[in-house]
Structure 1
Amino acid sequence: MTADLHAPFRARAARTVTWVLGVLTVLGAVAVIVLLPLSGAVFGLGDQAGTAALAALICWFLWRQGSVRADPGPTGLRVRNLVHTRQVDWAEIVAVTFGEGNPWVLLDLSDGDTLAVMAIQRADGDRARAEARRLATLVALHEPRD
């Protein structure tokens, strides 16, 4: 039970969507680079390089979105969101909230700040609610005892 409790948090629907969009982006870029010049359109080497660069940028963004995660450890939680990665100690986490209007779990921190945990997303439905409960359980297990 402890191993499952400490498993990494990962968004499931977001990873699936990003993989599909990544494949479509690459296929679309290849089609534009290969087929557009054959149609007689003025499409030079710079245009092809620009199309490839744009596809690479889109794929990088999709990879970042698909790789969001939260890794629980003995001392705290490492949260990797779209842009930033942050390590928070268990004692810093005051509450875990997953309100109806929130797209992902929010951690209320002891310094008054909040931290989004994009690895637990509402799009995952019942699984997301179960993961939010698991995270709240982890926080409660690591509360300082007096």
Structure 2
Amino acid sequence: MTEPGAASVSSASRASFRSRRGRRMAIVMAVLSVVLFTVLALLVAGPDAGGDWVVADRIMMAVLGLGLGAVLWRWAIIAAVPDESGLSIHNLVGRRHILWDEIADVTFDEGDPWATVHLRDTESVAVMAIQRADGDAARGEAQRLADLVAESRTRP
């Protein structure tokens, strides 16, 4: 059931915010790092072939690739998800749900790497899901977020 005033909000405006370029690059690099480090771990010369790599070294190389892949995968799942009560921000480190009433302003100044949500208590929270690398699309997404904040103020 929709709330009064919510009918004017399109389903597209409530879509999740996600970086396009950063997400694509992180996924490609995560897969590449896992594959590359695993292949290297299998191909390096061990003591039986005149090399210095023992089984523990090979395992650590594969684990390093998995670790790097995990960090890159975490970058790929950065998002900001709007709902009726507020905005859930999933940055590289940490998650936070901010109520619409707590948001004072949204900025995406020239030179900033991502959009910023300024809270009424003077705190600022980065919205890494809206990244400068996405160019004009990122500016549009920052405006969409600002519109959602403005729309939330008009609801009863």
Identity between Structure 1 and Structure 2 (%): 40
Of structures 1 and 2, the larger Rg is shown by 2
Aligned-CA RMSD value = 1.6
Unaligned runs of 5+ in 1: none
Moved over 6 A (4+): none
Question: How far does the alpha carbon of each residue in 1:80-138 deviate from its partner, in whole angstroms, 9 at most, with x for none?
Answer: 00011000000100000000121000001011100000000000001101000000000
Normalising by structure 1, we get a TM-score of 0.94
Residue 81 of structure 1 corresponds to which residue in structure 2?
91
Q: Does the 8 A contact of 2:38 with 2:65 survive in 1?
A: no
Shift in Å, 1:5? 0.4
**Structure 2 letter corresponding to 1:101:** G
The DSSP-based 3-state class of the residue aligned with 1:5 is: coil
Q: Does the 8 A contact of 2:87 with 2:99 survive in 1?
A: yes
The reply on whether 1:19 has 2:27 as its aligned counterpart is yes
Normalising by structure 2, we get a TM-score of 0.88
Residue 18 of structure 2 corresponds to which residue in structure 1?
10
The reply on whether 1:29 has 2:23 as its aligned counterpart is no
The reply on whether 1:44 has 2:58 as its aligned counterpart is no
Task: Spell out the pairing of 1:43-62 with structure 2 (5 A cutoff).
Answer: 43-62=53-72
**Structure 2 letter corresponding to 1:84:** G
Q: Does the 8 A contact of 2:115 with 2:128 survive in 1?
A: yes
The reply on whether 1:120 has 2:130 as its aligned counterpart is yes
Residue 131 of structure 1 corresponds to which residue in structure 2?
141
What CA distance in whole angstroms lies between the structure 1 residues aligned with 2:143 and 2:40? 46
